[in-house]
Every structure is written in C-alpha cells, then in structure tokens.
Structure 1
Amino acid sequence: EELATESDLVIVATPIAETPKVVSEVAGLMREGSLLTDICSVKEDVVDVMKSVKTEAEMVSLHPLFGPGASDLRGKDIVAVPVKAGKAYRRLKARLLDMGARIVEMKADEHDRLMAVVQCLSHLTVMSFLFTLSSLREFLTEDVRTPMFSHMLLAGKALLARDPDLYGEIQVHNKYASIVRERMLEVCRSLDVALSAGDAKVVEKKFSEIGDMFSKGERDKAYMLLYKLFEEEQR
C-alpha cells in the first residue's frame, strides 16, 4: 500500500480472477498524475472496475501479447484499453513505441473477442494436439518427423514451459472462449463425418472456402519458412 501511494506507475500482475479486486484496492491509494495499469489477459471485468472506481490516478489496461521469452520489445504487440488516460499514459506509450513496441488501442469487449481467437483458439489447438498425442504413445514406435509435426511439437513444448493455470483461466474467464471452442468442435465433427464416409475431397473443398484468407505469396512464404526452421533444427 505504501508503494502504491508513492509510485508514478503501478502494474498489477495477478491471476485473472484476482485482478479486478486488486485494481479496485490499489486505485484509491494512488495520487494524481500517477498511472495504474494491469497486464491481465481478459479485459472486460477489470475495465469495468476501472470505470467505476474513484481515484486520482490515470488508468489504462494493458495486455502485452508476448511472454518473458521476449528479449526486447521490437515488433511486439501491446494492446491498450484506455479508461482514464492523460500525460502519464502518453509518456509510457511514447517510451514503449521508442523501444519498438506496437501499441494497439481498443475497447475491452473488442479485446476479449479478438483474444478468444488469438489466444483461446491457438491454445486450444496446441493443447488438443498435445493431449491427443499423449493418448497415442503406443503409435510412436520410432522418432521420425515431418516439418509440420516438428513445428507442432515445438509449439506444444513451448506451451508446456509456461503456467498451465494461465491457459485454463483464459479459457474460463473470456466469455467468448466457449463460442470459439464450440466452433472448433463443429469443424472437427464435420471433417470426421465426411472423412469417415470416404469423402477425401472435403479437404479440397475446405481449402477453397478459406482460400481468400491468405494470398498465394503468403502461403508460399509460410511453406518455405516452415522448411527453413525444420532444416535449422537438424544442424
């Protein structure tokens, strides 16, 4: 509490469920001209608290879209949800931009909808791959890999290196995550029904449906990068 009253900048970094309460407690302690932020992965609840609490401090909810593995801020995205922004936030924003970060400002609801795809879907995909792989250990009689399998393994190992509670909390506390999970299950069920019926062409059909998401140049570049990463692993 003493630090909060004396600090120019306070960053709340607590489990998602606890962040709104901590922000509420700290906000009233801070002085005029200071800045209160959090780095919570889900924004609606904490931003609602920021909007309702009485404080002399500025308040902006931040979400760095990277973890402690980052060596610097160059090219890294940070989402900002300004609630009560002024000079202190502008100074912090300028400093982050000078360090190479990309600041993307949006509303809390927009953030949570976007993160349901960017985080919840990607985490779910990798977790599903890992848990399925673990259930098929009897199939893994030899250590052989394709570039795609190797890349999926890399993502899985990286996921396992971090806090599992965070992945669970993001799924539970983002109200849009259940929509994303259900959509993914629908896609898997649809593919399973078609492939079980012998319809190999369903993959070509699905490819054509999403063809406009990425240009041919993007697809070709991704393919070559995948092989480059795979070959670098072998050196």
Structure 2
Amino acid sequence: MSSMVTIGIIGGTGQMGQFFRRFFEKNKCRVLTASRKTRLSPEECAKQSDVVLVSVPIEVTVGVIKKIARYISKNSLLIDTTSIKNEPVKAMLKHAKCEVIGMHPVFGPNVKSLRNQTVVLCPARTKKWLQWLKDIFEKNGARVKLSTPEKHDEMMSVIQGLNHFSTLSVAHAMKKLGISVKESLEYASPVYRLRMAMVGRILNQDPSLYASIEMMNPKNKDVLKAYAESSKKLRSIIETKDTKAFLEYFNECSEFFGGFNEEAEELSDYLIDQMVKRK
C-alpha cells in the first residue's frame, strides 16, 4: 500500500482491541477506535476506515457486523477476530460488499510480541487485502495459517473446546475430592506442577470468554461426546483391572500421536528444566 492505511477497530477499548491498536500504530497505520465508551460511533468509524476490525465478544459479533456492514466501502476490508469463524464470516459476506477475511489471533492480549504466535486467516472474499494482512503479521514474526471457516471451527473444537473442557474437569474433580492444590504440589513432580500451571492459567482468565468458546462452537458437541466415550472406556478398563486392554488403549494412543511424541518429550523437558531453575 502506497499511502497510510486507516484501521477502524470496533470494540477498540477492550483488551484485544487495545492490543491491535498498539500493533497497527507500531506498524505505521492510522487507527480509529469505536465502542460504547467513545464519541466516535461504530458506523462512523466504519465509514472512515480502509480496514474495519470487529473485536467484540463472540455472542454479539454477528449483531455488530449487521449494524456496521453497509457503511463500509466496497474497496475496504472487514475482519472479525472471534475464536469461532463460520457464523461471523457468513454474516460479513451477506451484509457487506467489501473484502472479507475471518481472523483468529490464537493468543491473548498480554503477549509481548507476535514472534511465533499463530494467526489464522480465513479469506472469504479478497483481492488486494489478504497479502497486505498476511505480510504485516509475518513481518512481526507471527505464524500465519490460511484456512476455511469450517476447518478452523473443527480444529478449535479440539484445541479450545476439548482442551478447556478437560482442564475444567480436572479442577472440578479436585474440588469434589477436597484435594488442596497447594498441598498436592508438595508431593508433586515437575510434570504435575506444569499441568497445574496450565489449569491455573485458564482459571485466572475471564470465565465468560470460556463459556462462549465452549457453548458457541457447534462442533464442540461431537468432540465432547467422543471425549466422554473415551473416558468411559478407560475408566472401565481400570475398574476391571484389565491390563491387556490398558496396554492396547495406551499403545493405540501412542501410535496415533506418532512422531510428535519425541518432539513433545523434548519440549516438555525444556520447559521443566526452565521451571525447576526458578526460585
């Protein structure tokens, strides 16, 4: 782009909105922000912007898109930043005449840089803006993954839906058992401490965000059903003390993970080594 690009962030006073304001300003863009707290309205922000970025809670994203879409120039770009892509992308295509890209920044607003952070882009209607957006993220060290909304939501049902579900289940089971986290750490290996760190990290976030992630991705239903069935099978194997079946279950999982097992052990060894060096 030869001239300065104007970025309009709808929801720009939220944490992710503020992150993108700083990011695009650092990359020499002019940034406008609009929310319920600003004098500039979302509609006026959309009119004045080359790139309109919708950064609002998942449950209101489609409504905001419908509200602002007709104000966006056909030469501009409309982006949403939710962790679910199918419905927002459909809404953008239906209600706007401009270029459309679904975007999922797979990181939180407190990251210090985009180095090795993943940004998923779902190009839906593009000409000039996809390369510009891809370039600006890659120039800052991000890993850009191109996908479709359907494939994105399928992957997120495991990466987020299944992962967060199992994490919350561990925490709730410990509560039900009356096991003190602090006391358990006195008995624990570094691997367990690392696992508890991941549990605690999620529990230190905004619960409404995780509720939306779990409940608004329709693909989560099948994923959680598969998880429940797998857990039930393993529980039955353990309760009946069927060692042969346990080994088959374990080896089946190991074979499925394949070459990633060695990589995972190497990475986790590094993390554990760094963790035990802390005072």
1:177 is aligned to: 220
1:135 is aligned to: 176
The C-alpha deviation readout for 1:85-131, integer Å capped at 9, x for no partner, is 12233222211111111111111111111111111111111111111
**CA distance 1:69–1:205, shift in 2 (3 Å):** farther
Query: Is the CA contact 2:89–2:100 (under 8 Å) kept in the aligned structure 1?
Result: no
1:19 aligns with one of 42, 47, 61: 61
The C-alpha deviation readout for 1:112-153, integer Å capped at 9, x for no partner, is 111111111111111111111222225665633222221121
**CA distance 1:183–1:228, shift in 2 (3 Å):** same
1:189 is aligned to: 232
1:204 Cα deviation from its structure 2 partner: 2.4
Task: Give the letter aligned to residue 111 of structure 1.
Answer: H
Task: Give the letter aligned to residue 173 of structure 2.
Answer: T
1:221 aligns with 2:266: yes
Task: Give the letter aligned to residue 90 of structure 1.
Answer: Q
CA distance in 2, matches of 1:139, 1:49: 46
1:29 Cα deviation from its structure 2 partner: 0.7
Secondary structure at 1:97 match in 2: helix
The C-alpha deviation readout for 1:62-104, integer Å capped at 9, x for no partner, is 0011112321111111111112212233222211111111111
Q: Which runs of 4+ in 1 moved over 6 A?
A: none
2:29 is aligned to: none
Query: Is the CA contact 1:126–1:152 (under 8 Å) kept in the aligned structure 2?
Result: no
1:229 Cα deviation from its structure 2 partner: 3.9
1:147 is aligned to: 190
1:88 aligns with 2:129: yes
1:72 aligns with one of 99, 113, 116: 113
1:223 Cα deviation from its structure 2 partner: 4.8
Worse-matched range after superposition: 210-219 or 93-102: 210-219
CA distance in 1, matches of 2:108, 2:235: 35
Task: Give the letter aligned to residue 231 of structure 1.
Answer: V
CA distance in 2, matches of 1:200, 1:154: 31
Secondary structure at 2:172 match in 1: helix
Secondary structure at 1:69 match in 2: coil
1:98 is aligned to: 139
Task: Give the letter aligned to residue 100 of structure 1.
Answer: G
1:108 aligns with one of 141, 149, 159: 149
Identity between Structure 1 and Structure 2 (%): 27
RMSD: 1.9
Unaligned runs of 5+ in 1: none
Task: Give the letter aligned to residue 73 of structure 2.
Answer: R
RCO (CA 8 Å, sep 6+): is it higher in 1 or 2? Answer: 1
Task: Give the letter aligned to residue 27 of structure 1.
Answer: A
Secondary structure at 1:28 match in 2: helix
1:123 is aligned to: 164
CA distance in 1, matches of 2:190, 2:244: 24
1:207 is aligned to: 250
